[in-house]
Amino acid sequence: MLHMKVWQTGFDPRQSIYEQIVQRFHRSLVSGELSGADRIPSIRDLAVSLGVNTNTIQRAYQEMERSGLIYSKRGMGFFIVEEEQVIEKVKQEVVSQAVVRFLSEMRSLGFDDAKIFEELKNHMKGGGDQDGSANG
């Protein structure tokens, strides 16, 4: 997996870059682009291709290592863990987080379940893909 799909270089200035990088890995995992035991780009390579400081990538990898998603082999680089259950847990967390956050936000705005579905349908019809690369 040396040549990951090239990521957009644009980062949202409202969130730290390293967090956004972690999120991108999470999404690649959920979407199936990445899977167990894959090697991920070296810190230097990814820093260059994203145009950010190596420290930033290091911080992102450090976070993923702490959460048990990746591990490093000295001199070999970083790898996704092999255990399927760990990967599965991360996937579910990512999805669940998105859904829960959305639901609690809509409810705090006074929307009940029916209205939430209605609002969603409206946006699905008209809006279409915003940035989503619906690689299902």
Q: Which residues bind a second copy (CB under 8 A)?
A: 13, 16-17, 27, 30-32, 66, 71-72, 74, 89, 92-113, 115-117, 119-120, 123-124, 127, 129-136
Cα(86)–Cα(74) distance, integer angstroms: 22
Contacts with DNA: how many residues (CB under 7 A)? 25
Long-range contacts of 41-49 (CB under 8 A, 24+ apart): 41/2, 41/4, 41/77, 42/77, 42/78, 43/78, 46/21, 49/6, 49/7
Contact partner at residue 66 from DNA, a second copy, none, CB < 5 to 8 Å by partner kind: a second copy
Q: Tell the smallest beta-carbon distance from residue 90 to a second copy (Å).
A: 9
Residue numbers 34-63 binding DNA by CB under 7 A: 42-45, 51-56, 58-59, 61-62
